Amino acid sequence: MACTINVNLPESSYEIQIAPSTLDKLGEYMSKLELGRKVLIVSNPTVFELYGARVVNSLEANNYQVFTCILPDGESYKNLDSIKEIYDACIEHRLERSSTLVALGGGVIGDMTGFAAATYLRGINFIQAPTTLLAMVDSSIGGKTGVNHPKGKNLIGAFYQPKFVLIDPEVLQTLPEREFRAGMAEVIKYGVIWDAEFFAQMEASTHLDSIKTISPELLETIIKLSCQAKADVVGQDEREAGLRAILNYGHTIGHAVESLTGYTEVIHGEAVGIGMVAAGEMAAELGMWTKAETERQNHLIAKAGLLTHLPKINIDEIITAIQIDKKVRDGKVRFILPTQIGKVEITNEVPTDTIRSVLNNLQRM
Amino acid sequence: MACTINVNLPESSYEIQIAPSTLDKLGEYMSKLELGRKVLIVSNPTVFELYGARVVNSLEANNYQVFTCILPDGESYKNLDSIKEIYDACIEHRLERSSTLVALGGGVIGDMTGFAAATYLRGINFIQAPTTLLAMVDSSIGGKTGVNHPKGKNLIGAFYQPKFVLIDPEVLQTLPEREFRAGMAEVIKYGVIWDAEFFAQMEASTHLDSIKTISPELLETIIKLSCQAKADVVGQDEREAGLRAILNYGHTIGHAVESLTGYTEVIHGEAVGIGMVAAGEMAAELGMWTKAETERQNHLIAKAGLLTHLPKINIDEIITAIQIDKKVRDGKVRFILPTQIGKVEITNEVPTDTIRSVLNNLQRM
């Protein structure tokens, strides 16, 4: 069953198409967008081997001239050197302002492709074809693009919207289970920050931790409601002047955790899961929501097979790391904290002592 | 005499303030803009030694916390490595989304500072304090930011507007004469593409080739009318969907010339002068304007002390270089050609033979 979600923005609205077996239709969809003939597909070896031929064939059948740029897989390659490789491919194949970059892969590929598209010739077209759950429900939508700096995640980047997002849920069948579970962290996030009913639907499911045990109907609902939540929020605040910051729920501690573990020991979604547990505990500590709601959230995170305690990291290093995050304003660290399932508030009034004691407790668990 | 020009844009209008001896007032002007407390001044050793203290003092007197990032001087350093140095300084001093980068220098410093501001934390504030004629009348206005790629000029970049532009014409007294003449190329450009009366005013002046011999009144007029022309054009077409392309008059051949001579033998403004001569000759060759108008233009360029012939460069290399320029669309090179003094047209129908013969003639001169 196909479904289209509109991301409505002042200058650059676009469609998210969600439908199984549509990867072969990318060329057809693109034809409607009046783009130039040249297309550079950016992907990684694993994804390109699985799905590259289908995308290339679809584009060539629609008269596009197709080139490829295959980058090494993993968050540790999300840096300016990889961006340079994309630039070099763009120049080698003489991409023009009307040309298009297609991101075929997960969040790392999507973020880098978007940043290269934003900055090559001061901006060319780009399209997202996400192949991980996390990229489908989160990073492919909303125009946050960029790379990491050795000192912190996503410190370099730009707001730059794709022209189109194509989500083919069937490709999740080949996604490693760990990656699937990591994506579920962002899905649960939408339940906590935006949609209590969606949260309850996930609570009602016996399993949440594997693509094998989740019904196709629930999977479709998960992708659809997550994309809708993201589109709603971004549509109201594209550049994160206010509301959009709620999407960073779990990310303040999360970014520090993944950065301090080298982006591989704890991957992004797993770190966000831990960050949500930490934010929930802080909110309970500060009396912003009930202990019972903390437990509901933590239980759902655990049901998705995600960590709910803090791995062995020096707590002082976490405190330092969150102070150079993008979310700092006038030296104060900003947290998104829940007030009930489906609602959050933005605050920069969390005492460092509270942060420290919550983190200590999460490490002792 | 002070004068304010408004750049009116849909999302990010700003003021250009033109007034002698105002560098010391930067902090005061900034106070009205409600920016964060942290300011990073990006400059080069020559300019910073001359004017750094005045700017720092002015900012500190207005309660800003000031940091500096001094980059080596010259177009050859306008690359991603220099951008990384700015990022490192931003991170070292923990700049936040509300912080500001101040570009104190010429076009190279302005373009790089703007690009770093556009891409650090997905965009922080920036302010232009141009110290060369070229930067005052052209590069500091309009939001084109970026760096060069070994294969071509400004291939990497973003559209990103400053919050404010402060032009203190007095600083031109310390500008090397060669740099001043190079700036005059862009000034003459505005006469040819936009303002026939301004062109005639410059024709009426006995001297145009030195800051020492131009009257303060004419200098003020030059800066004011140039900024106004640029603001008019950019206000109508910020992202270069159409009209704005006329500002590239002389730049198609110009970019190739400066790139193929390593950015130092022929500097940007000088290359633009040669590019305007070439474009004028092409227009005459194609019967788009008169030979007499070509002569008027070339005479004014020569009066500004600029080259009107092509240095020793392989013509085939120029032809190849213009084909990877940003101005290419569907493989066709786009030229801006004059139809009369004060008016230009955009065309991608210049036969390669015409380009080649005009360039050959310009080299034999």
DSSP 3-state assignment of A173?
helix
Q: Residue A75's pLDDT band (boundaries 50, 70, 90)?
A: confident
CB count within 10 Å of CB A204 equals: 8
Question: Which of B205, B163, B161, B158 lies closest to B304, judged by CA?
Answer: B205
Q: Are A350 and A285 in contact (CB under 8 A)?
A: no
**A101, β-bridge pairs:** A40, A126
Which residues of B fall within a CB distance of 8 Å from A121? Answer: 155, 157, 326
Token pair of A70 as six digits: 């295959």
Q: Which of B98, B111, B156 to mutate to test the interface with A (most CBs of A within 10 A)?
A: B156
Q: Cβ neighbours of residue A60 under 8 Å, at least 6 residues apart? A: A27, A66
Of B94, B119, B326, the CB nearest to A121: B326
What's the mean per-residue pLDDT of chain A?
Answer: 95
Asked if A158 and B120 come within 8 Å (Cβ–Cβ), the reply is: no
CA atoms of B111 and B119, how far apart (whole Å): 12
The residue-averaged pLDDT of B186-199 equals 98
CA atoms of A280 and A278, how far apart (whole Å): 5
In degrees rounded to 5, what are phi and psi of residue B355? -55, -50
pLDDT digits (tens, 9 = 90+) for B245-299: 999 999 999 999 998 998 789 999 999 999 999 999 999 999 999 999 999 999 9
The residue-averaged pLDDT of A27-37 equals 96
Token pair of B145 as six digits: 């930011």
Q: Residue A361's pLDDT band (boundaries 50, 70, 90)?
A: very high
Question: Which of B10, B157, B26 lies closest to B100, judged by CA?
Answer: B26
Total CB pairs under 8 A between chain A and B: 92
Domains and CATH numbers, chain A: 3-174 (3.40.50.1970), 177-364 (1.20.1090.10)
Q: Cβ neighbours of residue B219 under 8 Å, at least 6 residues apart? A: B169, B172, B211
Q: How many CA atoms lie within 13 A of A264 on its CB side?
A: 6
Task: Give chain B's largest Cα–Cα span.
Answer: 61
Which residues of B fall within a CB distance of 8 Å from A323? Answer: 94
Q: Residue A315's pLDDT band (boundaries 50, 70, 90)?
A: very high
CA distance B275 to chain A (A): 21
**A43, β-bridge pairs:** A70, A104
Q: Residue B76's pLDDT band (boundaries 50, 70, 90)?
A: confident
Chain A nearest-CA residue for B115 = A119
A261 is in an annotated binding site: no
CA atoms of A296 and A303, how far apart (whole Å): 11
The residue-averaged pLDDT of B57-79 equals 96
pLDDT digits (tens, 9 = 90+) for B30-56: 999 999 999 999 999 999 999 999 999
Q: Which of A64, A122, A322 to mutate to test the interface with B (most CBs of B within 10 A)?
A: A122
CA distance A3 to chain B (A): 31
Q: Residue A323's pLDDT band (boundaries 50, 70, 90)?
A: confident
Chain A nearest-CA residue for B320 = A94
DSSP 3-state assignment of A316?
helix
Chain B nearest-CA residue for A86 = B156
Sheet with B3-7, side-by-side order of all strands: B3-7, B14-18, B164-167, B125-130, B100-105, B38-43, B65-70
**Is the model's pLDDT at B233 over the cut of 90?**
yes
Model pLDDT, residue B326 = 67
Show the 3-state SS of B111-168.
HHHHHHHHHECCCCEEEEEECCHHHHHHHCCCCEEEEEECCEEEEEEEECCCCEEEEC
**Is the model's pLDDT at B365 over the cut of 70?**
no
Model pLDDT, residue A31 = 96
Instruction: Fill in the DSSP letter of residue B51.
Output: I
What's the mean per-residue pLDDT of chain B?
Answer: 95
Model pLDDT, residue B153 = 80
Model pLDDT, residue B1 = 66
pLDDT digits (tens, 9 = 90+) for A219-234: 999 999 999 999 999 9
Q: Are B112 and B86 in contact (CB under 8 A)?
A: yes
Q: Are B281 and B332 in contact (CB under 8 A)?
A: no
CA atoms of B253 and B336, how far apart (whole Å): 11
Instruction: Give percent above pLDDT 90 in chain A.
Output: 88
Q: Residue A152's pLDDT band (boundaries 50, 70, 90)?
A: confident
CA distance B269 to chain A (A): 21
Model pLDDT, residue B341 = 97
Model pLDDT, residue A259 = 85
Chain A nearest-CA residue for B329 = A96
pLDDT digits (tens, 9 = 90+) for B18-30: 999 999 999 999 9
Of B123, B152, B323, the CB nearest to A159: B123
CA atoms of A251 and A40, how far apart (whole Å): 31
A75 is in an annotated binding site: yes
Q: Are A252 and A279 in contact (CB under 8 A)?
A: yes
CA distance A86 to chain B (A): 11
**Is the model's pLDDT at A174 over the cut of 80?**
yes
Element (H, E) at A153: strand A152-159
**A125, β-bridge pairs:** A100
Q: Residue A1's pLDDT band (boundaries 50, 70, 90)?
A: low
> Which is more confident, A357 or A325?
A357
Model pLDDT, residue B199 = 98
Which residues of A fall within a CB distance of 8 Å from B241? Answer: none
CA distance A131 to chain B (A): 25
Q: Are B273 and B307 in contact (CB under 8 A)?
A: yes
Task: Give ipTM to 2 decimals.
Answer: 0.90
Q: Catalytic residue positions of A?
A: 122, 144, 186, 230, 240, 244, 248, 251, 255, 268
Task: Match 């013509």 to its residue by tokens.
Answer: B315
Please state whether beta strands A14-18 and A3-7 pair in parallel, antiparallel, or not at all (unpaired): antiparallel
pLDDT digits (tens, 9 = 90+) for B102-128: 999 999 999 999 999 999 999 999 999
Q: Catalytic residue positions of B?
A: 122, 144, 186, 230, 240, 244, 248, 251, 255, 268
CA distance A85 to chain B (A): 12
Question: Which of A25, A170, A46 lies closest to A106, judged by CA?
Answer: A46
The residue-averaged pLDDT of B298-316 equals 96
**A337, β-bridge pairs:** A345
Asked if A91 and B149 come within 8 Å (Cβ–Cβ), the reply is: yes
CA distances from residue A26 to A18, A95, A123, A129 in whole angstroms, order as listed? 12, 19, 21, 9
Which residues of A fall within a CB distance of 8 Å from B323? Answer: 94
Q: Residue B151's pLDDT band (boundaries 50, 70, 90)?
A: confident
Model pLDDT, residue B256 = 93
Instruction: Give percent above pLDDT 70 in chain A.
Output: 98
A153 is in an annotated binding site: yes
The residue-averaged pLDDT of A131-145 equals 97
Q: Which of B39, B119, B122, B332 to mutate to test the interface with A (most CBs of A within 10 A)?
A: B122
CA atoms of B293 and B291, how far apart (whole Å): 5
Residue by residue, DSSP assigns A93-145 as TT--TT-EEEEEESHHHHHHHHHHHHHBTT--EEEEEE-SHHIIIIITSS-EE
Of A87, A96, A326, the CB nearest to B97: A326
The residue-averaged pLDDT of A295-299 equals 97
Of B80, B151, B155, the CB nearest to A121: B155
Chain centre distance of CA A260: 19
Q: Are A194 and A342 in contact (CB under 8 A)?
A: yes
Asked if B96 and A37 come within 8 Å (Cβ–Cβ), the reply is: no
